[in-house]
Amino acid sequence: MTEPSRHSPREEIQESAMVRTTPLHSVHAAAGASFTDFGGWQMPLRYASDLAEHHAVRRRAGIFDLSHMGEVKVTGPGAAEALDHALVGSISKVALGRARYTMIVAEDGGVIDDLIVYHVGDQEYLVVPNAGNRERVADELVSRCRDFDCEVNDISLTMALIAVQGPRAEEILRDVVDSGAGIPSALRPEDEGVPTADEDCGPDVLCGPTILRRLRYYAAVRATAAGHSIVLARTGYTGEDGFELFCGAEDAVDLWTVITGRAAALAPHADQADESGKPIPVLTPCGLAARDSLRLEAGMPLYGHELTEETTPYDASLGAVVALDKPEFIGRQALVARAAREGAPGTLRLVALAGGGRRAARAGCTVFREGRRVGTITSGLLSPTLGHPIALALLEPASPEEPQWAEGTSLDVDVRGRTYPMRVVAAPFYRRPR
C-alpha cells in the first residue's frame, strides 16, 4: 500500500495555491473565456453565450476542459477487493474495459462524493472524483485500501481531461483517434457489411473509426489520439453521446488544438446558421455554465446540490447504485438501516419538477404542498432545450405507505416571495434522439 504520489516542486507550489489552473488555461484565455473559481480551480464559465454553448452540444458538438476533475489510480492484485470495501458499488463485477458510476460514503451513509470507476487494465482501476473532493477521496482511498494488496496513487496533477459531447462527437474524433485496444467487453458487436481496415492497426487493436463506432456507453480503453497515449471513454455529463479523453497534462494543448482544427475542417450542416446567415461551426468550446444546464436537463446530480454528506444515496433516489448484496463495505450498516426506513419521517426523495412560464426556481427555493413545506429545490433553471422551467428537489416522502411522488402531482415553489406552480415529472427531463 502506498501513499498518494509525490509531486515535483512546481506541482507542489501549484497544489498549495488557493486557485489552480489547468494545462489548457492559456488556450481558454486566448479564446476570450470568462473564468470562475470552481472546486479550487479557475475554470472557463463561458466563452460567449451560455445558450449558444448549450445548443451547440444538443445540435452539433461541444468541447470541454474537465482537467479539474481528479484521477486516482488503484492497482495491484487486491485492487478490486479494496474498491469493493471502499465504495458502495460492486467494482469487482466491472468487466475489463467497462466503467461504473458509484459513490464513496461515510460510516453514517452520507455521500462524500459520487465517482466513476474505470477498469482500464488487468488489476488497474481509474477512480474519477469531483474536483473539490479530490484530495479527500484520495486520502480516504489510501486509508480504506491500506489492508489490501494494492497501491493508491493520486495522479490528478499529471493528467488532463478533454470531453467532446454531442451528436457529431464521433465524426469529429474520427480523424483524431488513431487506434484503441480491442477489448471485447468494451465493444459493441460489429455491424455486418461495415468495412474496416483494422488489420493495418496491429494485433488486438482497432483503428480509430472502428473503436469510436463500437465503443460501448460506459466503456473505456487505452488508445492513441493525435499520436498521444490516452484513455478513451464513452462517458459524459451532458445527456448526449460523446467521449472523454484522459491524457498527460503535457499533451493537453496539442490534443485540444488537433481536435478543434479537425472539427473546423468539417462542413457545417446547411440548415444551421446564425442570425446573420453565417454557418455555425461544428464544434464549440463550452464552459461550466453550459455543462450545468446540460446535466440538469439530463437529470444528473451535482455534488453540493443533490448530493451532500447530509444525504444518503437513498435520499437522492440513487439507491440502485448501492450493492447491499456485498457482505461488507464502509457505510453498509447505515445504508441497510436507511433502506429499511424508506418513507419514514426524516428521509428524503429526489424529485424532478417542471413548471410553466419563464420564471425558474433556483437552488434553495422552498417547495410546498397545499401550503405545507415539503422540501427544497436543489437545482433549477429555465431549460434552454425545452423552453420551460425545470428543477430537482429533495422532498419528504409523499406518504409513509407510498413514498414516491406520483407524476403530475401539483406543488408550489416560493421564488423570491412569489409562489409558482410546478408538477412532478419523470426524470430525465431530456432524452437524446436515438
Give the span between the Cα atoms of 43 and 35, in whole angstroms: 5
Backbone angles phi, psi at 290, to 5 degrees: -65, -40
How far is residue 414's CA from residue 18's CA, in Å, rounded to a whole number? 36
CA separation for the pair 43, 36 (Å, rounded): 5
Question: Which cell goes with 122?
Answer: 488487468
User: Count of alpha carbons within 13 Å of 294, Cβ hemisphere only?
Assistant: 29
Alpha carbon 388 to its chain centroid, in Å, reads: 24
Is residue 244 marked as binding? yes
| Helices within 274-328 (DSSP H only) | 288-297
Assigned C-alpha cell, 58: 444538443
**55: DSSP letter:** H
Q: Measuring CA to CA, which residue among 17, 21, 23 is closest to residue 42?
A: 21
Give the cell for residue 75.
492497482
Give the type of residue at 59: R
For residues 323 and 91, give the distance between their C-alpha atoms in angstroms, rounded to a whole number: 10
C-alpha cell at 326: 456485498
The one-letter code for the residue type at 142 is V
Residues 6+ apart with CB under 8 A from 370: none
41 within 8 A of 21, measured Cβ to Cβ = yes
Starting at the edge strand that comes first in sequence, how are the strands of the sheet with 111-121 ordered? 99-105, 111-121, 124-128, 72-75, 151-154
**How many CB atoms neighbour CB 427 within 10 A?**
17
Locate 228 and state its grid cell: 498521444
C-alpha distances out from residue 23 to 66, 169, 256, 268, 311, Å: 10, 22, 11, 29, 34
Cα–Cα distances (Å) from 113 to 122, 190, 321, 424, in that order, read: 25, 36, 13, 27
In terms of C-beta density within 10 A (0-12 exposed, 13-18 middle, 19 or more buried), how is residue 30 classed?
A: exposed
Annotated binding-site ranges for substrate:
244
Annotated binding-site ranges:
244
